[in-house]
Structure 1
Amino acid sequence: MKLTQIATATALFFTAQLAFADNPETQTQPAPAVEFLLPSVEVVASPPSTPLFSITDPKAPRQPLPASDGADYLKTVPGFAAIRSGGTNGDPVLRGMSGSRLSLVANGAPIEGACPARMDAPSSYIAPESYDKVVVVKGPETVLYGPGASAGTVLFERNTPRFTEAGVRASGSLVGGQFGRNDQNVDIAAGTPDVYARVTANKAHEGDYRDGNGNTVPSAWNKWNTDVALGVTPDADTKLELTAGTGDGNARYAGRGMDGVRFRRDSVGLHFEKQNIGKVLRDIDARVFYNEADHRMDNYTLRETPPGSMPMAADVRRRTVGGRIAATFDLSERVEWVAGADWQVNWLASRSVMGIQNLSDMPWTPSATLSNYGVFSELTWFASDVQQVIAGLRFDRAAATDDRQSISGMMSSMPNPTFDEQRTRVLPSGFVRYEQNLRALPLTWYAGIGHTERFPDYWELFSPNSGPAGSVNAFAGIQPEKTTQLDIGAHYRGGAVDAWVSAYAGYVNDFILFTYNTSMGKATSQATNVNAEIFGGEFGATWKPDGHWRVGVSSAYAWGRNADSGAPLPQIPPLVTRFTVDYTLGAWSAGALWRVVSSQHRYALNQGNVVGYDFGPSGGFGVVSLHAQYDINKRTQLTVGVDNLLNKAYSEHLNLAGNAGFGFPANTPVMEPGRTAWARLSFRM
């Protein structure tokens, strides 16, 4: 998008907002007397809302450039990083742990991708600004939202409050920036006290960006999403909601042999909740859902097929059906109990062609069937007004069936020795945590210990070329992970200072490790189980010396060791520290962000996960970014920013190696964007 187009769109949007706010002829009724507190720019996620839960507003303006997907959004939360592959669709990492160790739940349903190499990571299907809040739980400190979340759980939530009278609520934004970046987001709800309808939609685009050296990095992408919710609210305590959504996109990857030419998402769900039922049974929450991810990739639509290579394309699909029911009981004035069950079944299939053919004419070939049935129970004892103990327990029956009749090798296919075999396992998880508010200080602290057993996921069972020594393949040989972890932390809320710290230490039995053989030019992978030690923590503080200034700092560090060999664990991000300063005067504000990343010399050569592997140490760097904001009125906000102000040439440690198809030598990291200017106009009403 050219700057003139951005300016025109911004002017039209601004004019429409002023006309709506000030012209009585355009209003069907007087605007309610509601005070709107417009959020300031967030460059570091807000302090934890409770000792362990971090809740953020994805509609609030943020720096760096507004997020293109879930991983892009989460990387601003201390403790998170992303395995980078270009402009979008990175894979989120929490405390050095990736994949299914981190559970992502979107609007109450777990979300997964279909690509064996996680080109369509679960977070790539999430448009953050279409949600109302993002909740992060670090560590195995809850059992309510599904199995195996040893690193943590992220909830992308939508909640449409009941209308007390007939009316309309709306919010939206326009984003324009360098490298052709342009986004349009809208969220509209209309209803009465009895019924409502809500539509959230977004469309976004960015072209290939240039790094700090002025080189173009293949990274262009396009995305769009639309979700609809229809609800019935006969009273303030009852809601029945039907949801449906779809989306699609494409993306070029400098670090992959093929590009993503389709990221099709279709979903439907039904949600019922009833609150304040009685003295013992207080709430019931139940939902069923269906999701389908259809992901296509090839090496000719978004790039020129490299000389000497044959055009190829592949299509992968995951269909998921599931549900959840949970009930909340008040067993006494001081004891709250949540109990319930959840389940999901996944069917995966694929098809591929060599040469330019119509892939849609090819039949689907089943590859895997995965299922999980779980029961959970979480009890909270309010021992006093300042003390509480929370404990949880869940059991999951996980199963996987190998539907592959043959396995493709380097030059041909061979019969699959585990075709039609099924693996099942019953896995326990649980935790207990103590929390206390100190009377002498405005400080809350907690300490908890959790244990979770995680069944190997689709990528760990089916993507490796081989499994542990002595096994016929990874499906037959990879064992479930078992993580035991201690989490501690504290949060201080003083008059001018808000500070928090969290730390963890854990031991992982049968950690699933990928080892790559790159000697033949094409990487092959082996999955094995090892034992591992992990520890680290996060820290953040904000100081407000007066009503105008705000100074902040946050830092996150993760460490991991292969306890069997003594070598470092791979794919662990380095120490990251963010320094921020903001100044506010009336409707104006401005600020700066200095992101400092240390070098990483702890690496495990050619080891990693299904997405990427370590190919050497990485250097440290610092990136300075600036932003400014003007609150046009109580509903409208203009934010501008410049990311990487000094045009630093740098790359992240968690990074896919460059792909030779784009002229990048092997084991060369993909460089990050250079100086990038952007603007965002948003409104809420």
Structure 2
Amino acid sequence: MQPSKISQALTVVLSIVSLNVFAENINDNSIEVITIEAPKLTHSETALAEGNLVMPDVADWLKTVPGANINKNGPITGIAQYRGMFGERIAKSIGGQQIISAGPNAMDAPLTYINPIMVESVSVYRGIAPVSSGIDTLGGAIKVDLKKAEVDTGAALGGDLALSYNDINDASTFAGDINISNENTGVLFYLTDQSGDDYEDGNGNIISSTEYDKKQYGIDLRHQGDDWQIGATWHHAKTNNSGTPALPMDIDYIDSDRYNLDGEFQLTDWKLNWQLGYQDATHGMDNFSQRTNMNANMYRYNTTDAKTLDYRLLLSQGDWLLGLEGYDAEHNSVITNPENMMFEITNFNHIKDQRNSIFAEWTPSNGAFSHTLGLRIKSNHSDANEISHSMAMMNPNTKALQSEFNSADRSVSDTTFDLALNSQYQWTKTTTISYSVAIKQRAPSYQERYLWVPMQATGGLADGKTYVGNINLDNETAYQLNAGISYDHGDFTIAPQVFYQKVKDYIQGTPSTDMRVKMIAGMMGDSSPLIFTNIDATLYGADMNWQYRLNEQFKLSGIVSYVRGERDDINDNLYRISPLNTRINLNYQYNNFQSNLALHAYSSQNKVSVLNDEKSSAGYAIVDWQVDYFVSSGLVVRAGINNLLDKQYNDHLGGVNRANGSDIAVGDKITAMGRNVYLAMDYQF
């Protein structure tokens, strides 16, 4: 490739590396979607920002999106957060599939089932997500498009090879894929191997239980005709010996297989898309193999599994989109002590979580106005088999809770709905006004309903509290408002939004008054256990993205995010919400080089949840620097430094340490990585 052509490719790549996170259209102009695209340098397309070749957790990319963040319980356990909502309140579509975690504490959160080399793009619906974006979108929606086999590419063979190394934790990544195709058929093979040791913080402390070992591989097969195509995919994920210091246990293993069939047909004026998926995941975790535990009587090993069948059928024509979508998941969890063969707790036994839905979405446009109006009706059903506890015969409180749960009517069926209107008005040539209103509902998770004995199996809350569930929980209902303005005048673009939502029957832990629960929790060191309860809550805030091109070589860009979450029943804040933060990038590009200097600043967070014993955190600012050299159209080499100034700090969403044997005490906030130097290369052919 000639230098001028490389320069043209770099210019396009630069638009994303400098946090080009402005709206793109998926369905129509009324829905804003922020998309980060994967690198395809040979096709002069855009590339993922900030060290995409060295990140072990795809969830980290959410930090480049206004309003988005991640709850970190370990290096590869990122739980998506958007505008103060996290976990199952946010819909995650991974290659079109609804991925369900096998672990009751979200050690295998949905975004951990993917790896950077297989990602085509990551999209976040900004503001209020349309009803078509997922089954439960009360907290927003994230769409991850995965690579698929390419057909009739003009070349019989193509592929991608990525290597990286981080010095702070001796971490390495090897990832590769290869695509073989002819005129009608394509097949894609991929393999990823990621591993790292415990990292050091800015003061040189070793943060134990932060190692990871993650392997993924699979195959995608595509065949197409004149007006149809069909595909089949298999993904295998294997994780071993990976730490989660903010949780009571670490990952011993996660073993998952996902299968997917999908197709597309053009039927005169109608277009039909369908998908059928199945996932079988098993997960083992313990509190002794990767952290210090001197009391063998308290050794715990939790074996869990989840099997999920999911489906989706979409029919589109003109302004209309109609759909059927749902999943049927089953969960099990058994806790044992390898030093005491008599100890066994059946924590979750054949839990059923079935969600089926039908939706319609209309997207008319009229001159300067464009709208999306959608309604989704959801049928939710859950059930659980009887449970048991080996200590029930010796502990009357445990026996009473066991008997009460087993004699209860555990089958719950209800109907929920989502109704959303997204609109945009092109006020002037440079200015667009957007506004949205919605009512969104969510049925409780299986942990919130069926956690029958005090445990920390809470979907990754990581507050150190023990909880019990509540079979009779009501559905959450959110009344949402969103408004924004976008100004685009050549070299300068800015797009602020404000939002407000009142959540009725928000599911939150409240102090248990059940003496049986309190006595059992007290034996485990928690004098104030919580029970999942319906309360009312309010969330509001603002976020913004912007960019300014200084000249042909330099561009400034950034985001600002702020959210407040408050309980309406008592004077307290909602738990684990990111403080006011900003990210500012200065990008430079010249010939085959580009450089990205980034400042990430967070204010202090004192608006914490007293009830959840949440610790406040100090403000901080860190600097990252990255340099890329494009050797050719398909080869880039990269060097960078995270936390350039070796700042000692605590990410507020990073959680509290619960791992004995670390250089930081149990109960202290987990300190973040110190200065990390990394090298990487990506070769695409």
> So what's the TM-score if we normalise by structure 2?
0.87
Distance in 1 separating the partners of 2:309 and 2:253? 22
Distance in 2 separating the partners of 1:551 and 1:42? 11
Distance in 1 separating the partners of 2:273 and 2:7? 31
> 1:577 deviation in Å?
0.6
Match in the other structure for 2:656: 657
**Residue 660 and residue 245 in structure 1: after superposition, are their counterparts in 2 closer, same or farther (change >3 A)?**
closer
Q: Does 1:243 find its partner at 2:247?
A: no
Distance in 1 separating the partners of 2:632 and 2:329? 48
Match in the other structure for 1:586: 591
Match in the other structure for 1:522: 525
Partner secondary structure for residue 404 of structure 2 = coil
Distance in 1 separating the partners of 2:112 and 2:569? 34
Distance in 2 separating the partners of 1:465 and 1:130? 40
**Partner letter of residue 425 of structure 1?**
D
> 1:520 deviation in Å?
6.5
Match in the other structure for 2:515: none
Match in the other structure for 1:396: 378
Q: Does 1:55 find its partner at 2:35?
A: yes
Distance in 2 separating the partners of 1:456 and 1:159? 33
Match in the other structure for 1:69: 57
Q: Does 1:379 find its partner at 2:362?
A: yes
Once the two structures are superposed, residues 66-107 of structure 1 have per-residue CA deviations (whole angstroms, 9 ceiling, x without a partner) of 322232222332212222223221322111111111111111
Distance in 1 separating the partners of 2:323 and 2:671? 46
Match in the other structure for 2:550: 545
> 1:35 deviation in Å?
8.3
Distance in 2 separating the partners of 1:405 and 1:267? 28
Distance in 2 separating the partners of 1:503 and 1:442? 20
**Residue 464 and residue 582 in structure 1: after superposition, are their counterparts in 2 closer, same or farther (change >3 A)?**
farther
- Alignment partner for residue 486 of structure 1, among 481, 488, 493? 481
Match in the other structure for 2:458: none
CA contact (8 A) 2:482 2:497 kept: yes
**Partner letter of residue 57 of structure 1?**
E
Distance in 1 separating the partners of 2:552 and 2:224? 42
**Residue 43 and residue 117 in structure 1: after superposition, are their counterparts in 2 closer, same or farther (change >3 A)?**
farther
> 1:357 deviation in Å?
8.5
**Residue 656 and residue 367 in structure 1: after superposition, are their counterparts in 2 closer, same or farther (change >3 A)?**
farther
**Residue 257 and residue 561 in structure 1: after superposition, are their counterparts in 2 closer, same or farther (change >3 A)?**
closer
> 1:648 deviation in Å?
0.7
**Partner letter of residue 176 of structure 2?**
V
**Residue 167 and residue 508 in structure 1: after superposition, are their counterparts in 2 closer, same or farther (change >3 A)?**
same
Please identify, of 98-107 and 153-162, the stretch whose mean Cα deviation from structure 2 is larger: 153-162
CA contact (8 A) 2:345 2:390 kept: no
**Partner letter of residue 217 of structure 1?**
I
- Alignment partner for residue 434 of structure 1, among 408, 417, 423? 423
Identity of aligned residues (%): 21
CA contact (8 A) 2:450 2:471 kept: no
Distance in 2 separating the partners of 1:657 and 1:162? 48
> So what's the TM-score if we normalise by structure 1?
0.87
> 1:337 deviation in Å?
0.3
CA contact (8 A) 1:404 1:416 kept: no
Distance in 2 separating the partners of 1:407 and 1:449? 47
Q: Does 1:198 find its partner at 2:188?
A: yes
**Residue 561 and residue 310 in structure 1: after superposition, are their counterparts in 2 closer, same or farther (change >3 A)?**
closer
CA contact (8 A) 2:576 2:614 kept: no
Partner secondary structure for residue 461 of structure 1 = helix
Q: Does 1:39 find its partner at 2:19?
A: no
**Residue 168 and residue 648 in structure 1: after superposition, are their counterparts in 2 closer, same or farther (change >3 A)?**
same
**Partner letter of residue 259 of structure 2?**
V
CA contact (8 A) 1:130 1:202 kept: no
> 1:365 deviation in Å?
7.1
Please identify, of 447-456 and 652-661, the stretch whose mean Cα deviation from structure 2 is larger: 652-661
Partner secondary structure for residue 290 of structure 1 = strand
Match in the other structure for 1:610: none
CA contact (8 A) 2:643 2:674 kept: yes
Match in the other structure for 1:10: none
Match in the other structure for 1:215: 205
Q: How many residues are treated as equivalent by the alignment?
A: 634
Distance in 2 separating the partners of 1:674 and 1:473? 38
Match in the other structure for 1:637: 636
Match in the other structure for 2:43: none
> 1:441 deviation in Å?
2.6
Distance in 2 separating the partners of 1:537 and 1:135? 19
Once the two structures are superposed, residues 407-445 of structure 1 have per-residue CA deviations (whole angstroms, 9 ceiling, x without a partner) of 68898553253446200111111111211223x332333
> 1:164 deviation in Å?
5.1
> 1:493 deviation in Å?
2.7
**Residue 289 and residue 454 in structure 1: after superposition, are their counterparts in 2 closer, same or farther (change >3 A)?**
same
> 1:297 deviation in Å?
0.4
Distance in 2 separating the partners of 1:220 and 1:42? 28
Distance in 2 separating the partners of 1:639 and 1:396? 47
Once the two structures are superposed, residues 268-300 of structure 1 have per-residue CA deviations (whole angstroms, 9 ceiling, x without a partner) of 01101124x323x2x100011001221110133
**Partner letter of residue 203 of structure 1?**
D
**Residue 391 and residue 464 in structure 1: after superposition, are their counterparts in 2 closer, same or farther (change >3 A)?**
farther
CA contact (8 A) 1:86 1:217 kept: no
Distance in 1 separating the partners of 2:153 and 2:630? 28
Match in the other structure for 1:498: 493
Partner secondary structure for residue 448 of structure 2 = helix
**Partner letter of residue 17 of structure 2?**
E
CA contact (8 A) 1:368 1:404 kept: no
CA contact (8 A) 2:579 2:605 kept: yes
> 1:61 deviation in Å?
4.6
Partner secondary structure for residue 579 of structure 1 = strand
**Partner letter of residue 171 of structure 1?**
D
**Residue 356 and residue 75 in structure 1: after superposition, are their counterparts in 2 closer, same or farther (change >3 A)?**
farther
**Partner letter of residue 615 of structure 1?**
E
CA contact (8 A) 2:451 2:468 kept: no
**Partner letter of residue 93 of structure 1?**
Q
Match in the other structure for 2:42: none
- Alignment partner for residue 264 of structure 2, among 273, 285, 291? 273
Match in the other structure for 2:311: 323
CA contact (8 A) 1:507 1:533 kept: yes
Q: Does 1:353 find its partner at 2:336?
A: yes
Once the two structures are superposed, residues 152-192 of structure 1 have per-residue CA deviations (whole angstroms, 9 ceiling, x without a partner) of 11111125454254522322311111111111122322211
**Residue 446 and residue 78 in structure 1: after superposition, are their counterparts in 2 closer, same or farther (change >3 A)?**
same
- Alignment partner for residue 252 of structure 2, among 230, 254, 261? 261
CA contact (8 A) 2:60 2:78 kept: yes
**Residue 362 and residue 479 in structure 1: after superposition, are their counterparts in 2 closer, same or farther (change >3 A)?**
closer
> 1:197 deviation in Å?
0.4
> 1:47 deviation in Å?
2.0
Match in the other structure for 1:683: 683
